[in-house]
Amino acid sequence: MTLLKTLIQILLIIIPVLIAVAYFTHIERKLLGAIQRRRGPNVVGTFGLMQPLADGFKFLIKEIVLPSNSNKFIFLMAPVFTFIISLMSWAVIPFSKYAVLADIPLGLLYLFAVSSFGVHGIIMSGWASNSKYAFLGALRSTAQMLSYEISLGFILAAVSLLAGSFNLNDIVEAQNTVWFCFVISPLFLVFFISALAETNRHPFDLPEAEAELVSGYNVEYSGMTFALFSLAEYSNMLGMSALMTILFMGGWLPVYTDSMDYCGSAWFCGKMLIFVILFIWMRAALPRYRYDQLMNLGWKYFLPFTLTYLIVLVAFVYTFKIYMV
């Protein structure tokens, strides 16, 4: 009975996430169309609302082409592994005070560990494809994600220091008076930029640079294998939006203290939507970085800045005994 209950709880999280991912692509195409003064999807269904379902069906019935001389097993397992890893992080995301699958004490460390596993699926896909373009794209993505994970780790340490806990619910409740985006606003800005690089989005979408790599690490994939990579990418973006909401925007806490408690999930989703729109806006507004600029930004600017900020914050907190709890 306990196993059945757990499975139902998992499905209650995964199914809405997959639906949200599908319509994330629709919102993105609509907003990009509006920004570029053109129409987005508007043919399949009312206002084009059935377009994500049509795209999913198209991917489902398309043939999966296996490149010659590729490692077939790893080639097929890479997108499955990447997709599963992208869903694992949602197990500890608190949508409200009690709406969380696993409220573990080290939830923040769990999220950081799971996000690090995403690199393995990408490097597996690039190597197993037996393609120079795919392999170069996988190497780019691996170097990029590892570079910015270090800065993200220092920022997560700063947030856990202020909250006095690694538990995500405790971090949210520590922002009951003031959100961390106001307390450590420079780290909030660095975290958002690093999240763009971590999810391979504009202006840091170098692993999928069509001009040089003909789509990068997923160039040899088709059908549902390509769809799994796409779903994983958009799930990671939603996950990063949820994480930024928890760490810096008060999570499920309402903007007004007299708001009703049962609206926590609505507040959480509304704040997430802000970051989703920012992800799309960055794609429409910014040109792509050169790869050397990307590496310089991560290693020469973000890494020293976040490390110095963390050291100063530790000294300040322990000297003046200032905690948010």
DSSP string, 136-183: HHHHHHHHHHHHHHHHHHHHHHHHHHHHT-S-HHHHHHTTSSS-HHHH
**Please, what is the end-to-end C-alpha distance for the chain in angstroms?**
38
- Give the pLDDT score at 22: 86
Residue 160 lies in a domain: yes
Alpha helices in the chain (DSSP H): 2-35, 51-61, 72-88, 107-128, 132-163, 168-173, 180-183, 185-198, 210-213, 223-248, 264-285, 291-296, 303-320
Q: Domain of 305?
A: 65-320
Residue 43 lies in a domain: no
Residue 206 lies in a domain: yes
- Give the pLDDT score at 244: 92
Identify whether the C-beta of residue 171 lies closer than 8 Å to the C-beta of residue 108: yes
| 187-233 pLDDT, tens digit each | 999 999 999 888 888 888 776 666 666 777 888 888 888 888 888 88
Identify whether the C-beta of residue 217 lies closer than 8 Å to the C-beta of residue 138: yes
- Give the pLDDT score at 323: 55
- Give the pLDDT score at 211: 64
- Give the pLDDT score at 187: 92
- Give the pLDDT score at 53: 87
- Give the pLDDT score at 213: 64
Residue 195 lies in a domain: yes
Residue 116 lies in a domain: yes
State which residues of the chain have pLDDT below 50: 325
Residue 15 lies in a domain: no
Dist CA 13 CA 80 (whole Å): 18
Identify whether the C-beta of residue 115 lies closer than 8 Å to the C-beta of residue 86: no
- Give the pLDDT score at 56: 85
- Give the pLDDT score at 212: 66
Dist CA 56 CA 283 (whole Å): 23
Residue 19 lies in a domain: no
Alpha-carbon distance values, 308 to 187, 210, 297, 305 (Å): 11, 37, 16, 5
Dist CA 276 CA 287 (whole Å): 19
Residue 201 lies in a domain: yes
Q: How many domains does the chain have?
A: 1
Please state the pTM of the whole predicted model: 0.88
- Give the pLDDT score at 190: 93
